[in-house]
Structure 1
Amino acid sequence: MLVDVSSVDPATTVLGQRVAFPVLLAPTAFQSLVHPEGERASARAAAAAGTIAVVSTMSGYRLEDVAAASPGPKWFQLYCYRERDVTRRLVERAEGAGYGAICLTVDLPRVGNRERDLRNRFSLPPTVRPRNFEDFVDLEGQPNEVFFEYIQRLVDPSLTWDAVDWLRSITRLPVLLKGILSPADAKRAADHGV
């Protein structure tokens, strides 16, 4: 109390990366729904603010395009897929594009039923597609149901700590877990080196 805070510097280091303040830009799917530059613009904004952009697997732009759009640091958010080759290839692409970490989402064992979207008949416009999956499945011109069914089948509901260990074994990047909420899970994550 009663400490001079007239010149406070909130800058810190996160996994060796200097950031202007300890806030990261969270991964959000299909940002091009609200702006034509979507994730590319967000990555540039994060860089301008001096922080890290965490880029969603469900980006409307390929992860390489987002990386090329901004010189700032980026981490790649990932789901673990039943087809481990899909997971491996996405990780390899993130490494090749210069991402600094993999953020594995662990609190989404199944894609939600999104009843409000169903009631409102929400659908992605034809120009907004999950571009990171173009190497695995041809979704161009397909109705949204095809994409959502594909993702529902792809996400691995049997994700365990063994999958986290496997992910760590296939990448040189740090692996972070997105969705850890309890102290017990945080300790277990630390025990697994993440």
Structure 2
Amino acid sequence: QLRSRLIELIRNEGEMGERGHVTIKVNSLADTEMVHELYAVSQKGVKVNLIIRGLCCLRAGVPGLSENIRVRSVLGRYLEHSRVFRFANGQGENQPLHLIGSADLMGRNLDKRVEVLTPLSHPRHQEWLDKTLNTLLADDVPAFELMRDDSWTRVGPVLFEPHSQRLLYEWAAHRQTRRNSRD
């Protein structure tokens, strides 16, 4: 069920061509079928941004195969385990679908375990998720990026500090302070 729904959402973005966009943040991407689905939509012009903390069995940036796929690994002060999926047209054209849950893109998670993904329907929660993903994908955030030769290259500022996590922490703390001052 989970596998088929994710494939459906990925293929839906493929139908949008260059207007399609998939963003996924997981610990691991090792499922062959998911890799092939992401390759297929990349070849249709869909932008695919992957934030993978650990194992990644996909080759990014290969002309004719995955030139529209970017893979980043963002390491920092906090060990991140969140699984996040954003499909730009998941609820209709220009109607993004935001999902959070427990599933990594591995065969055992998709086929043999009880895993859950749930949509975020509240606009504020969607905004938080967009802020998080956009911060992690920003060019000025220290990260490692997967190159087409399967090597990882450090990108972002020369000084390598857990920049994205600090920015997100400060953003959340500021929002909480503003909220508390209204009470």
What TM-score comes out, normalization by structure 2 length?
Answer: 0.37
The structure whose Rg is larger is 1
What TM-score comes out, normalization by structure 1 length?
Answer: 0.35
Considering fraction of residues, name the structure with more strand. Answer: 2
